[in-house]
Amino acid sequence: MKKDTLIQIILGTIGGLVASIGMCMCLIPEWNLFVPGVVVSIIGVIILLCMIPIYRKEHPSKGGAIVPFFIGIVGALLMGFGMSKIMIDNVTQSNMIIGIIIGVIGLLICVLNYPVNAYLKNNKN
C-alpha cells in the first residue's frame, strides 16, 4: 500500500468521524451543543478537504475528481436535511412530506454522481 493511500484512509476516517460527531451534536437537542457542533462539523469537513491535494497528486486530471466530490457533498447534505426534517419530535405532515421530497432529491443527486464522474473521466481532453 502506498503512503498516500494510507494517508487518504486515515484522513477520510478521522474527517468522517469528526464531521459525524459534530452533526450529532447539532441534531440531538438534549445536548444543547448546536454551535459547538457546527464548529466540529466544519473541522471534520476541512479534514476531509485535506484529502483533495493527495488524491490529485495520485490521479492527475483537469478537475474531473473535484466536481463529483462536491456533487456528493451536496447530495449527502440534502439527504441529511431531509432526514432531520422527518426525525424531529412532533413531526407535522408538512415536515414529513418536505423531508421525504428533499431526501429523495439528495439521494438522486448522489446516484447521478456516478454517471457525471464517468462522463468527466471519458472527456478529459
Q: pTM for the full model?
A: 0.59
- Whose grid coordinates read 436535511? 81
Whether 5 and 15 map to the same domain: the answer is yes
What is the per-residue pLDDT for 65? 67
**Contact assessment for residue 72 and residue 33, using Cβ atoms and an 8 Å cutoff:** no
C-alpha 49/C-alpha 16 separation (Å) is 11
Whether 76 and 125 map to the same domain: the answer is yes
Whether 56 and 67 map to the same domain: the answer is no
Whether 97 and 43 map to the same domain: the answer is no
> Letter for the amino acid at 91?
V
Whether 78 and 44 map to the same domain: the answer is no
pLDDT higher than threshold 90 for residue 44 = yes
Greater confidence, 75 or 89?
75
Mean pLDDT of the chain: 85
Q: Which domain holds residue 94?
A: 61-125
End position of a domain, from candidates 60, 94, 111: 60
- The number of domains in the chain is 2
C-alpha 44/C-alpha 12 separation (Å) is 9
What is the per-residue pLDDT for 98? 92
| Lookup: cell for 115 | 454517471
Going from the C-alpha of 57 to that of each of 1, 16, 86, 118, the distances in angstroms are 16, 21, 41, 20
What is the per-residue pLDDT for 102? 94
